[in-house]
A and B are shown apart, each in its own frame.
Chain A
Amino acid sequence: NAGVTQTPKFRVLKTGQSMTLLCAQDMNHEYMYWYRQDPGMGLRLIHYSVGEGTTAKGEVPDGYNVSRLKKQNFLLGLESAAPSQTSVYFCASSRTWTSGGARSHEQFFGPGTRLTVL
């Protein structure tokens, strides 16, 4: 059980180049998320998906696109990279459960992708 995996771990791009970040989870979770983390900003939601074939915009979606063709994979694309997209990108998936009448929810994160755009 690998949990949530991300590829690549590191990448350096030049302004204007494109790339795709791949996230995979083997926990059969319905929800998946892409975040970026910048110093002093906390994690900010880029896009998310509530199930296979569905995606939705988060807090900072501009400059990114996503696809969820298979339940276990969530792809994040940068069509034309900009220096402002230099960041650490985390993918997450989540599960929900009910215990004692209370609904609870937990996110599991991948190890992150460190992207530098020159």
Chain B
Amino acid sequence: RKEVEQDPGPFNVPEGATVAFNCTYSNSASQSFFWYRQDCRKEPKLLMSVYSSGNEDGRFTAQLNRASQYISLLIRDSKLSDSATYLCVVNTYTSGTYKYIFGTGTRLKVLA
């Protein structure tokens, strides 16, 4: 079983739609959680950190459920520019070192 699992998609949604992605992780000792965005043939960039209490950044809302070991990302009022691959990232801090585990990503296509 992969340490971080995501539905690869693609999710094809019309402009203005709301779309949600889920991600599950297997290591209960994981401490930090993130969503990164990666455009085609570009490097990943941090979209938002995910906190236990849930957090919102404009049209984006991230939630963490530690008991069920999953993370979600909700995008409201989708824009064409939201088309990208969204990477779920889990971080564990052990023995003084941070280790990141990346999901394979979920592709989103927002259609005009």
A interface, CB within 8 angstroms of B: 31, 33, 35, 40-45, 48, 50, 56, 58, 90, 94, 96, 102-112
With a CB–CB cut-off of 8 A, which chain B residues contact A41? 104
Nearest-neighbor residue (CB-CB) of B32 within chain A: A105
Contact status of A42 and B43, CB under 8 A, knowing A50-B97, A105-B32, A105-B91: no
- Determine if A42 and B102 form an interchain contact, defined as CB atoms under 8 angstroms apart: yes
Within B74-102, the residues touching A (CB, 8 Å) are 87, 91, 93, 96-100, 102
- Give Cα A43 to B99, complex, Å: 12
- Determine if B102 and A43 form an interchain contact, defined as CB atoms under 8 angstroms apart: yes
How many residues belonging to B are interface residues under a CB distance threshold of 8 Å?
24
- Determine if A40 and B32 form an interchain contact, defined as CB atoms under 8 angstroms apart: no
Q: Mind listing 13 A-B residue pairs with CB under 8 Å?
A: A33-B100, A43-B87, A45-B100, A48-B97, A56-B97, A58-B99, A102-B51, A103-B93, A106-B34, A106-B49, A107-B46, A110-B43, A112-B43
- Give Cα A96 to B93, complex, Å: 12
CB distance from B92 to the nearest CB of A (A): 11
Number of residue pairs across A and B with beta carbons under 8 Å?
A: 52
Contact status of A45 and B98, CB under 8 A, knowing A40-B104, A109-B44: no
- Give Cα A112 to B105, complex, Å: 17
With a CB–CB cut-off of 8 A, which chain B residues contact A45? 99-100
With a CB–CB cut-off of 8 A, which chain A residues contact B43? 90, 109-112
- Give Cα A58 to B92, complex, Å: 13
Q: Which of B32, B42, B51, B96 has the most CB of A within 10 A?
A: B32
Q: Which of A33, A45, A107, A108 has the most CB of B within 10 A?
A: A107
Nearest-neighbor residue (CB-CB) of B45 within chain A: A109
Q: What 5 pairs between A and B have smallest CB-CB spacing?
A: A109-B43, A42-B104, A43-B102, A42-B102, A106-B46
With a CB–CB cut-off of 8 A, which chain A residues contact B87? 42-43
